[in-house]
Each structure stands twice: as structure tokens, then as C-alpha cells.
Chain A
Amino acid sequence: MKVLVAVKRVIDYNVKVRVKADNSDVDLANVKMALNPFCEIAIEEAVRLKEAGTASEVVVVSIGSKSCEEQIRTALALGADRGVRIDTEDGPDSLSVSKLLAKVVEKEAPGMVILGKQAIDSDNNQTGQMLGALLDRPQGTFASEVKVDGDKVQVTREVDGGLQTVELAMPAIVTTDLRLNEPRYASLPNIMKAKRKPLEVISPDDLGVTVSSNLSLLRVDPPAERQAGIMVGSVDELVEKLRNEAKVI
């Protein structure tokens, strides 16, 4: 079975983003970029499936400008076998991304597609689900456990009330939650090896997809700042303030 993993280049999760002065967008100039943390978990899961003998090949796809090849190389260093970049401007919308991925899936015919449940920049949490719908394949979203059993896969999902397990006919789409696994670090030899692994670049035209969007970003604002609070010296003072000043207890 082949496993396809879709990954996104995003702002490093430790960086607090700033809004541009003209409110047109956030400012990503000179900001540290990285692999989306949920995508890292997706790669790790695919590599583990390969190490367990369940998967035969791990193909990693990213969509964007040349800069996202850095993240594809990271994925290759973590154990993916080959990479595909679909050449677009950065940040196509989720529907376009899903359409492009659906074409790659048709071409590559993987038994499973693993994606992160959300990208920490747009926070949309929708690409995997959209891909499932376009392909008419089942999905196990927010996965904390993935168990392949023949031509079926059982996915345990993190839901608001606790955990839910579903069984999906393969090919299936899986989106990762934080507790699915703990991603490894890439070793130096593997980083060197990754440089020689194949990385193919294709265009949306090659896939017969036109990238466009009916969504426009009108403006971006910083969130309302909280007023600076005070430090209290004791539990007594805290209780007194909550009772008499904030009146919340």
C-alpha cells in the first residue's frame, strides 16, 4: 500500500504573528517558517506504517511556491520516499488545495491519505474532509489512533465528548490530532540523504485544475488587547477581588 501525505509550510508555531500596519494581511516577512505541526505528525504516522510493513511507499505532496520544497525535504528526511510539489502561488484556498490533491490521489492511487487536521496559520480544519468528499472516500478526522486491518482501517478520533472509533473502507483519508504520535527528529545523515530523494514539480495545468477563489480577504485586524491586570499578594486578596471588584463569584 502506498501512503500519500499532504504537508503545508506555515509560520513556526513559536512565533507570534503581527498584523501589517495597512491591515491587508499578517506580516510574514523574515518570519521563521516550518512544517505545520499536524503535518509532521502525519508524516510520522506514514513512516511508522512503512516501518511496520503495512505501507510500501510514502509520497509527500505540498502545494505552493518553490519555498515549500524546504518542507518537502524535511518530510523526506523524516522518512518519506519521494516528494511532489504542485507549483502555485502561496496560500490557495482549501477548495483549490483539495481539488489539486484529489487529482494527485487519482494518479498515485494510495491506500491512505494522511493530512494534518488543521494548519496553524489559517486554522480552517477542512482540507482532509473536502478531499474525502471530492473522492467520495471515507474519513477519520482528528485521529489519535490508526489501525489498518486488511482493506479496512479503524480510526480512533478525538471528539468533544471523548473518543470515538470508526471503521473505514480503504482507500481512506485520515487527519491527525496531536496525540496520534510523537514525531521523530531528522538525523543529519537522513537530512543529507533527503537531498537526493526524487522531488517532482507539476503545475495545476498538468492536473487539469484551475486555481481560483470566491473568498476574498478584506482586512486583518489584531485581536482586542486585554487590559493589563494586577498581581495579588495572597489568596485572601484574590477572593476579595473576585467577590467585590470583578463580582464573578
Chain B
Amino acid sequence: MKIVNQGIEKIDAMALVTGKPVYTDDLAPENCLVVKVLRSPHAFAGIRDIDMAEALKIEGVECILTYRDVPGNRFTMAGQSYPEPSPYDRLILDQMVRYVGDPVAVVAGITEKAVEKALKLIQVSYDILDPVLDPDKALDHKSIIHPEADYHAREDIGNDAKRNLCASGEFLSGDAETEFSRCDVVVDRIYHTKANNQAMMETHRTFSYLDLAGRLVLCTSTQVPFHVRRIAATALNIPQSSVRVIKPRIGGGFGAKQTLVSELFPALVTLKTGKPAKMVFDRAESFTASTSRHEMKIRVRIGADRDGHILAIHMDTLSNTGAYGEHGPTTVGLSGHKTMSLYNMARAFKFTYTVVYTNTLSAGAYRGYGATQGTFALESAVNELADRLSMDPLDLRLKNILKPGDSVAAYYGETIHSCALPACIKKGREMIGWNQKFPFVNISNTKVRAVGAAIAMQGSG
């Protein structure tokens, strides 16, 4: 085995460790216009008027662009393949702002100082609207976050924007309610996971210029250059052949860069002015005006007979996609399909989901892509079930997990060809000293040290 089990050095290792200029901001031309964005201080508002007379007087300010200066094509910034499941619910700049941080105006200038001064001098008057902040109250709220007539979904995702419903659906296999009625024990719990930030070390950044053929070149810190090209073309209303995307080495992404974030602002400036432009998000902006993990509230019902045979699982996920639907219709699916599938011995599965808009930061992609939230919920419920059955939680899992050759009901009926989960569970049990430590050992009069378990799966080729 010359290759397998041997370390290999990455081809760019030495460039990285000697600090060579390989990242987006290291490559930007010196004469780029500095681009920054004025952001909404309101969670939900209509823009009545933008007065930029004073701001435009600042020396070094090149342009200030507002909703009047952008194409009217709605689009999604989610980096996803045809037919793009996320709804077309955005403009680069819109007359309606839908979360604290939504862009109101793009300012470009020769120096950062000039741009910052101009940002302070722009006067915006808003018609403040009643925001929807609680995902539990979003559906059929009297405030409609996306009332626009040209809003549309590209495929059937169970969408109804008038109800603040980004997506919904259900999956059934077997007769869950009948199986629940046969169970000796049913656990029924709601688990709530919060929005998190991916927090890669390199914040979002992009520079743009026109090349010798007049093509718009976007050099950007992204995980999805091919999608950036198509989305930028749609958003800017130019042909894809007029856009070239360069993705240099990136300083981490973790899903944050699976959505367009900084790209379109400098792109717009370059198209308007013909000049190179650059936007670098600061850390605060990366937290408040990018995309997060979807906050989810997941109700799990799981039932078993008294010997620990799981008969039925029902997961009902409420996912908060925030102000825009980036990855909303797709992440939610993994909260059920990538979790229940592990318990393939169950006779019935039910998965229902609702993805709602709220006036909060748009959610997006983040490692695990929805499976993370679902795993926390279902695995917690399985542990509670073990407790109710007075069974060891590892034994309960070994009794119910999928086996090679199974057709996996909750995973689109696909056949699983290999699975080493029982061996993993056994090895994990041994390594952590489970049998000596479960459920806990007293380490003093006031403290115990406990062990717990969870299993998870990920898809692969």
C-alpha cells in the first residue's frame, strides 16, 4: 500500500504556509473602487425616499446606487443546480427591506474614508412595517414578507408566499398512526436549534473588473463559482457569456459561501462605472448580513414496543428561512431523511415540514445542511426512548439500525450497499469505556460525569 494510508502534501501547501498572495483580497488591483453597503436599521420597512445629495458631495465618492438602479429580475442567491429549488425572491436592492441588515444603497468611492462618510450622509425615510420575528407565528401572519407580484418558485416546493410559506411537504411510508397505537412507549418532544454562523476565518469578499473583451470578471471567495456565474448573469440581466468567475484559494466557507453574498455589489458598480471595484465584508457584517444555519423547531414522535423495537417515527420540522429562501426548501429535507433513515427497521415513517419566512437574517447552507438539526432532535429522542424503556441506548440503536442490503424507506427507497455502523458503535462503546461509565459515575458529592450517545449518517458517492 504505497498510497492508501499515507499522508500526501497538498499541492498548494507551501504557498499557503509561506503566506503567498493567493486569496481574493491579495489579488485585487490597487485601484479598485471601495464598495460598501448602507443597511436597513429596520426589520421590515418600505423605502419612501432616499436623499443622497449631501453624500454625493463627498470628494472621492464615485456613485451611490439604490433600488432604482438595479434590474427588476428576481432571483435566488442560493448556489443550486437546475431548476434552482430556492424561490426567486430577491433583487440586488429592493424598495422593501426585510431584515436588519438588508441592503438599502451601494456606495463606491476611491477611499474607504470617503465611502464611510458618504454612508453616514445618506438620508433614508422608511415606512416602518410590523415585522414577523417568531417562526411559530409566521404562517398567515398579517404582515406578508414577500407580497411582490413577480415572486416565483421554479418548481413545486409547497410554496405560498402570501402565507409567509417558503416551502412545505410531507413524506409517508407505512401507516404511522396505526403503528403508534401499537406502541408500548411513545416519546413526543420538541427540540429547538438556533441559527448559527459558519464563521470561516476569511469573511466574504469579491472584486470585479471588465476584461479586454468587456466581460465582467468576478474574482470572489466562493464555494460555487459556476453558480455565481449563472446567478450574476440573471441578477444583472446580462448573458452568462458576459460573466467570468475566478475563485482563488478561499479562507474557509463551511457553507457560507455556497450562497452569493458579497458578489453582486461590486459587480453592479463595475457594470455602472466600467471601473474595478472591491467589497470586503467586515466581521460584524459577516455575522449580520450573510446567511446562517436554519433555525429549526423539530417535533419528534417515536414509539417502540416494550422489547425496544421501534415501530414508528414522525418528525415535524418547522424551519426558519429568514427574510429570503436561500436553501430553505432543501435543507429542511435532510432534517428528516438523513436521520430517520438510520432506523430503517421501523415499520412506518412520517415526515412533515414547514419552512417559513421571518424578518430575520436569511438562512442558507451550513455544514450538514439541515441534517445537523434533525440529528440533534431525533438522537435526543432516541435516548429519551431508551430511558423510558430502561434500555441501554446503544443496544436500542443496534436493535433498530439499517443493515447492508436494506432498501431504505426514508431515503427515497435507495439500497444501502455497505454499512459499518454496528462495528462503529461497538468500537465507540469500548473506547469510551461505556459499560463502566453509563449512565454516569459520581466524581464527588456534588458532581457526576456522564456519557451519552448519538449516531449520524452522511451521504456519499
Tell me if chain B binds chain A: no
